[in-house]
Amino acid sequence: MDISQYLDAFLAESEDNLTTLNDLCLQLEQQGAEDSIFAAMFRVAHTLKGMSATMGFTKMAELTHRMEDALGYVRAHPEVFQPSVVDIFLAAVDALTMNLQSIRDHGQDAHLDHGGLLAQLAAVMAGNEQPAIQKAASNGLSADVFEKLRELRRDGLTVGVIEIELSSSCVMKGVRMVMIMRAIEQFGDSLACYPEASLLEEGEFEGPVQIAVVVNGASISDVMAAIADITEVETVREIDLDAVAASSQSEQHSAQSAAAPEQPAAASTATPVSGRGREQTLRVPVGRIDEFMNVLSELVIARTRLDLLAQQSGDPALREVSEQIGRLSENLQEGVMNMRMMPVEALFQRFPRMMRDLQKSLDREFDFEMTGLETEMDRTIMDEMGEALVHLLRNAADHGLESPDVRERNGKPRRGKITLSAYATGGHIYLEVRDDGGGIEREKVLQSAVKKGVIAPEQAKGMSDEQVFELLFASGFSTAQTVSDISGRGVGLDAVRGKVNSLGGTIRIESKVGEGTAFIIELPLTLTILPAMLVRVGEELFAVPTANIEEVARVDASDLEWVHEHPVVRFRDKVVPVLDLGDKFFGRTCGEQHPWNTVICKDGKDYVALTVTEIVDELEVVNKPLGRYLANVKMFSGATILGDGQVALILDVREVLQLGA
């Protein structure tokens, strides 16, 4: 069989399943040995096993198989459950994730060795071996199934519940059960069974089995006779449907899962425990949406052009059509943007696990909370933010929080708290990592900065708290007393800022000594289409992103003040340097006569007033990359094609600010 065409679907689904499994492990740890969690885990492991075996990935199939065994065992023996079991399951999830990566990269997993883990999983069972497998609390189909059957009987169908017991010497119970199921299928269908179908197929059961059947053109006794013919079937008997009373509310749930044994595991796992509804979704490769986005960009450009022509012609009918097309393309644009948006949950879901592991490896105790999981964010930006968030979270656990003893001494609860939140407001997305730790100590930062030569000692005195926090982002800066395993590697805060900046965002710190620290990241909603102001510098047109613009001002000679021969203006109590773009870009000033046309721009806390020849228009532009050849050009974040086909470069205000420095 050619499996390659299914590979993508397999990878995507397995990834989802592993994520679910991971979440379930964490729930298991918090809530203890809950049967519903085990059941959900079992189903996922079973699905993974089935899929990987079908695809011929033997190592993955073997590991999931053992995992399933162990899960089945712990489920049947909740008394053997202990926290270390979760660790083993989590290790298995990690190994499977790695396994999946190997399949993605090399198309196979034959070279992997899960030997150690297999042994550990086996030990979960062997170490707690007990001769007699105890029966679960209930020992038959739930009352709801009986109720359903009675309903079907009223509708005139032939239904019944058959109880089967295999001989105690039967060695391949799973095989026998499959044969029994086949026998039933000759006469009709099995509606439900106890224990679950997956357990039956694996032979993971003891005692009598109950199967609810509906038959066409035959009687229940025909079915029973066929089953009795199968070797090693000890007893077959029919259970009286009216003997079991209607259900109580508490059994509702088990009845549902029992009544639909064939339901795909992936769909049913998330619902019982997370309790959040799932929308119908369609998997589309990101590349396809990007292609669509490109075409849409062309449309936006053509639309701008049509707009221009319509205005020039002065024909009212043409203008009307042009406006209508404008509105339609805006709707379309919004639609595709929305398609690219995903709930941040997709990014956040791996963090609870990470934070759990951190607690174990660091001398820290804390609760980790996430809010705003439904906040939507551009997929591309989200992918880029992963590593930065990992760093900030590790930082919060390692440097933000004090050790439990220190916390106690300072009159705080031993357990700290770290919160990761997402929210959207005013065309921006905010991501916040907050801890209730010791806060940033100004003096410590300053000492360290002076020692490392980042600032001069005399500079330190006059710095505001904000400026001091800024120092943390300077490259090669760290206030940690000891370089720990956790935060001492990977990206530093300077890299976090670099990443955020490259996405057009900003990051800032809020901190109070003794109360905690927050890192707040502000990101644009999307990258490709942005509102901008078109300005002319000499002969050339440039686009300035509106997000960076504070105000457009005409500056007269009397508005200017001078600092060390550089012109500055006052804007909102700030002294803002004036930069002549004509001079900086082409060596020909734009400010031959007053008043100067200036655009006051802001990036983070920094302001600059850019003098341009003329302010042309305000419009939406499509950000097109400059391409690999111009990758070194930092002054412009991209270019856009205007209505008349001309190219205008898009200013990167952050870089332009450096020109004044």
Q: Which residues bind another protein (CB under 8 A)?
A: 298, 301, 540-541, 584-586, 624-630, 632-633, 635-636, 638-639, 641, 645-649
Q: Using CA atoms, how far apart are residues 593 and 573, in angstroms rounded to an integer? A: 26
DSSP one-letter code for 644: T
Q: Which of residues 305 and 415 has its CB atom nearest to another protein in the complex?
A: 305
3-state secondary structure of 283: coil
Q: Least Å distance between CB 495 and another protein?
A: 21
Amino acid at 353: R
Region at 406 (left for phi over 0; alpha for psi -120 to 50; beta for the rest) = alpha
Strands 606-612 and 596-603: antiparallel
Q: How many CA atoms lie within 13 A of 53 on its CB side?
A: 11
Q: Using CA atoms, how far apart are residues 25 and 21, in angstroms rounded to an integer? A: 6
The DSSP code sequence of 38-92 is: HHHHHHHHHHHHHHHHHHT-HHHHHHHHHHHHHHHHHHH-GGG--HHHHHHHHHH
Q: Least Å distance between CB 619 and another protein?
A: 16
Distance of CA 390 to the CA centre of its chain: 12
Termini Cα distance of the chain = 65
Q: Least Å distance between CB 287 and another protein?
A: 16
Q: Least Å distance between CB 627 and another protein?
A: 6
Q: Least Å distance between CB 597 and another protein?
A: 18
Q: Least Å distance between CB 492 and another protein?
A: 25
Contacts 24+ apart (CB under 8 A), 293-300: 293/336, 293/340, 293/528, 296/329, 296/332, 296/333, 296/336, 297/528, 297/529, 297/622, 297/624, 299/329, 299/332, 300/329, 300/333, 300/529, 300/620, 300/622
Diameter of the chain measured on Cα atoms: 107
Helix, strand counts (H, E) of the chain: 23, 22
Q: Which of residues 246 and 630 has its CB atom nearest to another protein in the complex?
A: 630
Q: Least Å distance between CB 534 and another protein?
A: 13
Which residue, among 577, 574, 580, has the nearest Cα to 566 in the 3D structure?
577
Q: Least Å distance between CB 621 and another protein?
A: 12
Q: Using CA atoms, how far apart are residues 522 and 604, in angstroms rounded to an integer? A: 10
Q: Which of residues 350 and 624 has its CB atom nearest to another protein in the complex?
A: 624
Q: Which of residues 62 and 290 has its CB atom nearest to another protein in the complex?
A: 290
Q: Least Å distance between CB 630 and another protein?
A: 5
Q: Which of residues 335 and 627 has its CB atom nearest to another protein in the complex?
A: 627
Q: Which of residues 92 and 532 has its CB atom nearest to another protein in the complex?
A: 532
Which residue, among 650, 506, 639, 655, has the nearest Cα to 579 in the 3D structure?
655
Full strand arrangement of the beta sheet holding 209-215: 188-194, 209-215, 158-166, 233-239
Q: Which of residues 285 and 627 has its CB atom nearest to another protein in the complex?
A: 627
Q: Which of residues 163 and 580 has its CB atom nearest to another protein in the complex?
A: 580
Q: Which of residues 14 and 613 has its CB atom nearest to another protein in the complex?
A: 613
Q: Which of residues 174 and 538 has its CB atom nearest to another protein in the complex?
A: 538
Q: Which residue has the tokens 């721009």?
A: 601
Q: Least Å distance between CB 625 and another protein?
A: 7
